[in-house]
Structure 1
């Protein structure tokens, strides 16, 4: 891709993506270009939070490790989930486990209070409210930056998003999931023998979600305590996207809801998580935020039509969000969009990129 785009996964500062009134600054235009190009080439981008936020993310991951480490070796059947296709997609809260994926999750959803099976209040990982606020604001700024790149009006998706802040009695559609993959003490009756494994550099690696996963979000953000997240790029290659993250950096990628709302012009990321079987006693912990549309709304492409985009037949009719979130979505047709805009970039001294010139692939 040398000379026709980014040489590697794009890296942008969140501060440069915050919208403001008046003419856009050069740093905003450059950052939007890098963001859009990285999403087009790699289906992901690295976003750098202010340095002060690194401490919050680090403490959140440390709290997650301790939270999962203190849990029992195998959960009761009542809190075992084997699929995300549920009519309760916007009501998940608290601890869940999926032994087939060797994954444990604690969902934090503002407006809901989780409880254990004995009706006692569960003590969650620390700092979730602050991390939810941090990731939620970042996701909305990134969504606005994508909208700017598409020549849509400002905040075009505000009607399908939660109020910010939530009104009284409202429950958040978006969710912050604290996850743990491959905790060695997490044992299931199947002992995970059906999970494909490979040997690399003397280490046993497992891919529990062997094919891939696709988030149904508008925007997803992921921060992990060790590398292992792979995303498929536009050439069909699986690339490791969190191999060199700084303490204040996170991975961002689009989901199926944004694909639907933009008439397919923003492809969702296909991703999978690698489990290192020689990891330490805590497993691989991550913080994952999903910016989700409200349940009582519909996904339509009116903003894309207003901006002059052609809308194919499959996107013509509005889709109720509840229906969209509960049904399965084949992914073999997702990478057939027209050629995207390409830019020439050169790295700068701080690891970011500067744009040289615009061209079309």
Structure 2
């Protein structure tokens, strides 16, 4: 990065970011300031792990190189899985992207990958230990970001996996072992051809950039090649000067949503010009701290801290729906100018990201649409959770038919309604299809404290008004 004439990324020790009881130490405040400033300027920072963790990460990269090197060139079609066709929280095992010359092995605690032929996949070595190291570090970093935003301690605990996982739980967070441009993947002839073709010098999913939907991502690579777009719209090589104990951290789209846009997700791409002549390609360990599938991303913690929350962030977003969307990054924020954001330094020196007031009038969602979205969220969170615990598969009725079902004891849905506590008099159909009056009954049954008057009035206050109230 220094060769590009650009300032260096913030570099902090993980041990300095670890919270402790009482008044924050000077090293903690200084590290949080460095981390926050680096994320604001470059959407990335460098984390220095303790010596013993650094040794584990290096051995993990050695194991990754050997794992991919021993695999067959150009695997058979039955082994070339595409994780886009699977649930985002159920990927596990070996995947390939032949067009992008990328191979990935996903490790997800609670889920064991079985290859065709009922043979167990033998993973790279040390993944459980590396997962634990990255998982603990990512939570420490997330809490440090929360501190810089004046949020309470561990504000995102409710949307994260249990530590440790409960019985039969599957981790939402995932550790991915990746390999780019392995010469033996397509054979030596194809590899040389790709190196000569300038159009294949960069390969990402859209040949421009990609964006993680994680809260935060930690990456440790054996060769430089990760580029992230900075505050000014320039592509910065962020892993060009990593030490043996260093890893790169950058925010994802879920954190952008949970902080009402105060923390921007990183736009990234991978360069592979520097792997020519390498027999192993470029290997990396990537840990994505993900929210749980049966939760929602909401900005209640940001409002409680006095931050202004725009209309687009005021309604909770079910995590499953959020992960299945394909939002345009141009609609999320305007790079490279970042006209919606500014940096301000508090008296204690911590960097905070604050949204400038938007002068354009924002029209709140109509009550009927807010009611529908709230009912869908409760179905995802409350009703589905009850059904899962009881082992019930929800099969909703047709609205017209079920209007007669609710008055009969022998109706097809009577037992299901009784077991999950479906409100009396409300047809057993998807809340999206219920009349508004029935939606209200549905919400009152499953959302304690909810009423028709509780129409999220506070969250519909204009961002400027919220900021003014907190200032007063």
**What aligned pairs does 1:149-298 form with structure 2 within 5 A after superposition?**
149-187=148-186, 197-198=197-198, 206-209=201-204, 210-276=207-273, 277-298=275-296
Higher RCO, 1 or 2 (CA under 8 Å, sep at least 6)? Answer: 1
In structure 1, the residue corresponding to 2:41 is in which secondary structure? Answer: helix
The RMSD of aligned alpha carbons is 2.5
CA apart distance, 1:51: 1.2
Change in CA separation of 1:326 and 1:196 when aligned onto 2, cut-off 3 Å: farther
Aligned to 1:347: none
Aligned to 2:69: 69
Query: Which of the two has greater helix per residue?
Result: 2
Structure 1 regions of 5+ residues with no counterpart?
Answer: 1-5, 200-204, 344-354
TM-score when scaled to structure 2? 0.68
What runs of 5+ residues in structure 2 fail to find an aligned partner?
Answer: 1-5, 355-472
Partner of 1:109: 108
Write the distance in 2 (CA, Å) between the matches of 1:118 and 1:186.
22
1:188-211 superposed Cα distances (whole Å, 9 cap, x missing partner): 8x9587999549xxxxx7101121
Provide the secondary structure at the position in 1 that maps to 2:323: helix
**Distance change (3 Å), C-alpha of 1:38 and 1:305:** same
- String of CA shifts for 1:147-170, please: whole Å, max 9, x gaps: 000000000000000001111111
Residue 125 of structure 2 aligns with which residue?
Answer: 126
Alignment: residue pair count:
338
Contact 1:224/1:284, CA 8 A, preserved across alignment: yes
Residue 208 of structure 1 contacts residue 273 of structure 1 at CA under 8 Å; is this kept in 2? yes
Shift of 1:327: 1.1
Partner secondary structure for residue 236 of structure 2? strand
Task: Answer yes or no: is the 8 Å Cα contact 1:218–1:293 preserved in 2.
Answer: yes
Aligned counterpart, 1:313: 311
Conserved? CA contact 2:259–2:299, under 8 Å: yes
- Contact kept? 2:344, 2:353, Cα under 8 Å: yes
Equivalent-residue separation in structure 2 for 1:116 and 1:267 (angstroms): 38
Contact 1:82 1:100 in 2 (8 A): no
The answer for the alignment partner of 2:322 in structure 1 is: 324
- Aligned-residue offset at 1:341: 2.6
Tell me what 2:360 maps to: none
How far apart, in 2, do the equivalents of 1:195 and 1:174 lie?
A: 34
**1-structure distance, mates of 2:167, 2:277:** 43
User: Is 1:94–2:97 an aligned residue pair?
Assistant: no
**Greater share of residues in strand:** 1
User: Displacement, 1:284?
Assistant: 0.2
2:186 partner SS: coil
Match of 2:438 in 1: none
Contact 2:214 2:288 in 1 (8 A): yes
Contact 1:73 1:187 in 2 (8 A): yes
> Once the 2 structures are TM-superposed, how far is the Cα of residue 275 of structure 1 from its aligned partner?
1.1
Residues 103-155 of structure 1 show CA distances to partners (whole Å, capped at 9, x for unaligned) of 00000000011122111111110000000000000000000000000000000
* Structure 2 CA distance for aligned equivalents of residues 220 and 51 of structure 1: 21
Contact 1:196 1:207 in 2 (8 A): no
Work out which of the two has the higher radius of gyration on C-alpha atoms and give 1 or 2: 2
Distance 1:226 1:158 in 2: 34
- Residue by residue over 1:84-121, the C-alpha shift from the partner in whole angstroms, topping out at 9 and shown as x without a partner, is 4x551101110000111110000000001112211111
Aligned to 2:58: 58
Q: Structure 2: how far apart are the matches of 1:184 and 1:53?
A: 30
Distance of aligned partners of 1:357 and 1:112 in 2 relative to their CA distance in 1, 3 Å threshold:
closer
- Asked whether 1:23 is paired with 2:23, we answer yes
